[in-house]
Each structure stands twice: as structure tokens, then as C-alpha cells.
Amino acid sequence: MNSQLTNAVTHKDHIKGPDTAALELVEYGDYQCPSCGESYLVIKKAQQVLGKNLKFVFRNFPLTEHPDAFPAATAAEAAALQGQFWEMYDLLYTNQLYLNSDDLLAYADQIGLDRNKFETDLQSEALASKIEADFEGGERSGVTGTPNFYINGEKYEGDWEDDALVHYLKRLLATV
């Protein structure tokens, strides 16, 4: 069965790449998930190879078996309020083994966030609700684990490891 993305990409999403890109890659990810850490590198390579032809969208899907995933997602959302989502996203994925509260505060300092605002925002019900909305949207779209990808609205069930996703995206680009 081909699953489709049930909620369209909007300005509320975290988007990297032009709106006019031929390919839209949506990832539901968990900052503490080892496979997501691997897919982070694959996504970086895809962005480098495909450039302006790829629009990448990240949505939170913190799994309950990863106790630091929800706080890490909250830290990314708090950084977004200060215009630094992608900087925090990069730090969280490159430091996956270090996601406790002291680590998150250190990352905020590292990227130059207003520390008081960041600490206040970490407690925000609005941010918790946004993360829960991402999660629920993922569930409605058929996401059961991470990482989970949608390409141009269709669930990608193929191999994403190594260069498999990049090669698939390149082949798909040739047909659009």
C-alpha cells in the first residue's frame, strides 16, 4: 500500500531549500534515534548533490523509548523561535549521545541563543503542542518508526542507507 503524507508542508514546518524545488523530501525523525543519526549524514549528502532541486522538511517524531528525544525536539523548537532551528538541529544530530539538559543549554550557548528566553521556551506548552502535532501528523500518515521519509507526498519505502536514497532522488529528478 502506498501511504501518502496527510498534512501538507506549510510555513510552520522547518524547511531547507527553495519552495520551487522539483523534489520535496519530508523526514519524520527522532534526535536520539541511531538510525536517524545515520540518515542525517545521508540527507546532508542529498542536499549537497541535489542543491536547489531539493526541498528538505524536518518534522519531529520523538519515540517514547528514547527519553532524551522529546527534550531535544523541544530544544530545536526553542532555537527556532530565535531563528536558529537548523543550527540546533545540526548540533543535536552531531552530538546524539549528549542530549541531557546541561548539554542542551550548552548547545544554546554555543549557537548564541538568548539563554533566558531559551530556558523559558523549553517549558512552553506551545512548543510541546507543536511537537505532538508533528507526531500525530506522522501517525496519520503511517509513520511507525524513525527515520521515515516522504518524497513529493508519497511514502518512501526503499533503502535510504549509504547512497541509496541519493541515487533514488537523482533518478526521480530525471523524470520530473
CATH number at residue 156: 3.40.30.10
pLDDT attached to residue 38 = 96
**Is residue 2 assigned to a domain?**
no
pLDDT attached to residue 2 = 53
**Is residue 114 assigned to a domain?**
yes
**Is residue 6 assigned to a domain?**
no
pLDDT attached to residue 3 = 78
Counting the structural domains of the chain, the total is: 1
| Amino acid, single-letter form, for residue 7 | N
Does pTM surpass 0.85? yes
What is the domain extent for residue 82?
A: 14-175
| Amino acid, single-letter form, for residue 169 | L
**Is residue 124 assigned to a domain?**
yes
pLDDT attached to residue 1 = 44
**Is residue 115 assigned to a domain?**
yes
| Amino acid, single-letter form, for residue 50 | L
Low-confidence ranges of the chain (pLDDT < 50): 1
In this structure, what are the phi and psi dihedrals at residue 169, rounded to the nearest 5 degrees? -65, -40
**Is residue 38 assigned to a domain?**
yes
Please answer whether residues 9 and 26 qualify as being in contact, where contact means their C-beta atoms are separated by less than 8 angstroms: yes
**Is residue 4 assigned to a domain?**
no
**Is residue 72 assigned to a domain?**
yes
